[in-house]
Amino acid sequence: METESERMATNGEDAEPEARPQPSHPRPLRRTGDFLGKHRLSAAISRLNQEIQYLQAELDEIETMKPSSEACKAVVLSTEGKSDALLPVTPGPENPAWHRWFQRVPSSHSRKWWTHKGSDVS
């Protein structure tokens, strides 16, 4: 996304007032315009310098970072030992509530129920 300061920079505000014919609008407006342009540019440069510092810190950090195999190991370990209702083989405990999707559900409209084979009877 183009920042506001980049947009201003391409709008031709770089000519010094004295190099142009006198404008018909009062001088203070032009000075205010220059002041605002400088102010915005300075603020944008300040933000970019801060970003440079952050990026330098990230580059320093990455020198001490472990390779991806460490994280891959953690992923494998994190999925084990956790009971999971959607897996065909899972550590316990099995929660009886997991079966509710296949049990008779009282309904005010009709005797709707779902078989264990999961056919959507409606």
Partner 1 sequence: MSVAELKERHIAATATVNSLRERLKQKQQLLVDTDVAAYGRSQGRSAISFVSTDLVCCRTLQGHTGKVYSLDWTPEKNRIVSASQDGRLIVWNALTSQKTHAIKLQCPWVVTCAFAPNGQSVACGGLNSACSIFNLNSQVDRDGNIPVSQILTGHKGYVYSCQYVPDQETRLITSSGDQTCILWDVTTGQRISVFGGEFPSGHTADVLSVSINSSNSNMFVSGSCDTTARLWDTRIASRAVRTYHGHQGEVNTVKLFPDGQRFGTGSNDSTCRLYDMRTGHQLQVYSQQHDGDDNDIPTVTSIAFSISGRLLFAGYSSGACYVWDTLLAEVILNLGELQNSHEGCISCLGLSSDGSALCTGSWDKKLKIWAFGGQRRVI
Q: Is 111 in the site for partner 1 (CB under 8 A)?
A: no
Q: Which of residues 1-60 bind partner 1 (CB under 8 A)?
A: 1, 3-6, 9, 13-14, 16, 34, 37-38, 41-42, 44-45, 47-49, 51-52, 54-56, 58-59
Find the shortest distance in angstroms from Cβ 18 to partner 1. Answer: 12
- Residues 6 or more apart whose Cβ sits within 8 Å of residue 93: 83
Candidates 89, 104, 110, 111; binder of partner 1 (CB under 8 A) is 89
What's the CA gap between 37 and 10, in Å, rounded? 12
φ and ψ of 14, to 5 deg: -100, 0
Candidates 28, 105, 110, 111; binder of partner 1 (CB under 8 A) is 105
Q: Is 83 in the site for partner 1 (CB under 8 A)?
A: yes
- Residues 6 or more apart whose Cβ sits within 8 Å of residue 57: none
CA angle 91, 93, 98 (to 5 degrees): 100
Give yes or no for a contact between 114 and 106, defined as CB atoms under 8 angstroms apart.
Answer: no
Residues binding partner 1 (CB under 8 A): 1, 3-6, 9, 13-14, 16, 34, 37-38, 41-42, 44-45, 47-49, 51-52, 54-56, 58-59, 62, 65-69, 71-76, 78-80, 82-95, 97-98, 100-102, 105, 107, 112, 114, 116-120, 122
